[in-house]
Amino acid sequence: MHILITGGCGFIASNFVHYLLERYDYRIINLDALTYAGNPENLREFENNPRYKFIHGRIEDVKAVKKALRGVDRIVHFAAESHVDRSITNAQPFIQTNVAGTQVLLDACRQAKIDRFIHVSTDEVYGSLGDKDRFTETTPLAPNSPYAASKAASDLLVRATAKTHGLPSIITRCSNNYGPYQFPEKLIPLMITNALEDKPLPVYGDGLNVRDWIHVTDHCAALDTVLHRGIVGETYNIGGESERKNIDVVKTILRLLEKSESLITFVDDRPGHDRRYAMDIKKIKRQLKWSPAVTFEKGLELTIDWYRRNEKWWRRVKSGRYRQYYQKMYGQRLAEGKKP
Ligand code: NAD
Ligand code: TYD
């Protein structure tokens, strides 16, 4: 099989490229724009692998997309602007990539008569939950951040292309991922690397927001299942069945790293901060026989171990432009932050 991965140099997709190349003899093409989040180092070991090809380009670029689609059977579409806080500062790149870019891909895939379009989406399209309930695949879309709205829009464009033009597509919606190669703007890698540097850990609001965590290899295994056995036209929720409050995640990281809780700093909340996400994953379990295998405690240990062993990787990522981002996002808030 010939598979196009978009955004392959990012966190989840680079794990997925590793996953596929290690398990199958497929040919993989990776189309990535190399934004701040795209890091070719994540796939360096495959550079000379004849089954792997990298194309530097944007998914909004019709020419680049057409070139990347030559001979391709299936596409797994990951490329996106993915960070909620950045979407609050500036929503434009989210509309450009997540909405306009997805439509370019859909049109090109239709013309290329592609065999399967797997659209990688998120639980955030469903909005926020109270203490009870979980998101099912039929929960109405109610996105609250510009990021979530742009992903919901892309989901609807996939649906429309499938219904109108018959593109054989499947949508997956996954909960919060963590694991190797995650950019240290997201909660878990930010907290691990800050703690390793003995820097303050900025916890938003009261720290009681809940996320449903999944180790990235479980997400990859779920996507592998969907790629091979998913039913065209379906949407599948994917989750780790590991709900945790942010403050508990942060305290567990500090305990595993043997660092003091005095590093915790409560800072001004994120505007429109979703309170709780939790996935009902009965459908994928029943229909495709997939279940998460990595417990949160084990996954966190593995992740901490990876960041300890790959200090060079994250120190390089945290230099340069990242410093400006960090200062803008956290400088003032940390100066006014409160200790527990
Ligand atoms: P990421 O931010 O780590 O990586 C995004 C990748 O896409 C980067 O390599 C970047 O260079 C590339 N990219 C961005 N704009 C592009 C463009 N216009 N053209 C081509 N490439 C472009 O993202 P991630 O966290 O790995 O998320 C990957 C996908 O999974 C996204 O679609 C995201 O919405 C979805 N998702 C993420 C999570 C999560 O917890 N991180 C959870 C559920 C779903
Ligand atoms: P994040 O990793 O940005 O994922 P998402 O917002 O897409 O779920 O954030 C996870 C949770 O952690 C979310 O409730 C916001 C919170 N958070 C902090 O408290 N401090 C931080 O510095 C970051 C980045 C996130």
Q: Where are the beta strands (DSSP E) in 61-133?
A: 74-77, 116-122
Distance of CA 154 to the CA centre of its chain: 15
* Ligand nearest, relative to CA of residue 4: 1
Look at ligand 1, atom 15, and give the residue with the nearest C-alpha.
Answer: 80
CA distance 249 to 166: 43
Q: How many helices (H) and strands (E) does the chain have?
A: 13, 12
Ligand 2 pocket: which of 176, 187, 193, 322 to mutate (most atoms within 8 A of CB):
187
**Nearest ligand 1 atom to alpha carbon 7:** 7
Look at ligand 2, atom 7, and give the residue with the nearest C-alpha.
Answer: 84
Ligand 1 pocket: which of 82, 84, 172 to mutate (most atoms within 8 A of CB):
82
Residues of the chain with pLDDT under 50: none
Q: How far is the CA of 114 from the centre of ligand 2 (A)?
A: 36
> What is the reported pLDDT for 185?
98
Ligand 1 pocket: which of 11, 30, 63, 279 to mutate (most atoms within 8 A of CB):
11
Q: Spell out a b/e string for 67-104, using b for 16 or more CB atoms within 10 Å of the CB, else e.
A: ebbeebebbbbbbbbbbbbbbbeebeebbebbbbbbbb
Q: Specify the fold of 2-178+211-238.
A: Rossmann fold (3.40.50)
> What is the reported pLDDT for 340?
85
* Ligand nearest, relative to CA of residue 35: 1
> What is the reported pLDDT for 282?
98
94-98 contact pairs (CB < 8 A, 24+) = 94/146, 94/147, 94/150, 95/150, 96/60, 97/33, 97/58, 97/59, 97/60, 98/147, 98/150, 98/151, 98/153, 98/154
pTM assigned to the model: 0.99
Q: How far is the CA of 270 from the centre of ligand 2 (A)?
A: 9
Cβ neighbors of 76 (< 8 A, separation 6 or more) are: 3, 4, 5, 6, 13, 16, 118, 120, 223, 227
> What is the reported pLDDT for 300?
98
> What is the reported pLDDT for 323?
97
**Nearest ligand 1 atom to alpha carbon 77:** 32
Q: How far is the CA of 186 from the centre of ligand 2 (A)?
A: 6
In this structure, are strands 243-245 and 210-215 parallel, antiparallel, or unpaired?
Answer: antiparallel
Residues 200-251: tens digit of each pLDDT: 999 999 999 999 999 999 999 999 999 999 999 999 999 999 999 999 999 9
Q: Ligand 1 in contact with 126 (CB < 6 A)?
A: no
Residues labelled catalytic: 123-124, 147
CA distance 309 to 177: 20
Ranges of each domain in the chain: 2-178+211-238
Q: How far is the CA of 241 from the centre of ligand 1 (A)?
A: 22
C-beta atoms surrounding 253 within 10 Å: 23
Output the CA torsion 133→139→144→145 (10° steps): 110
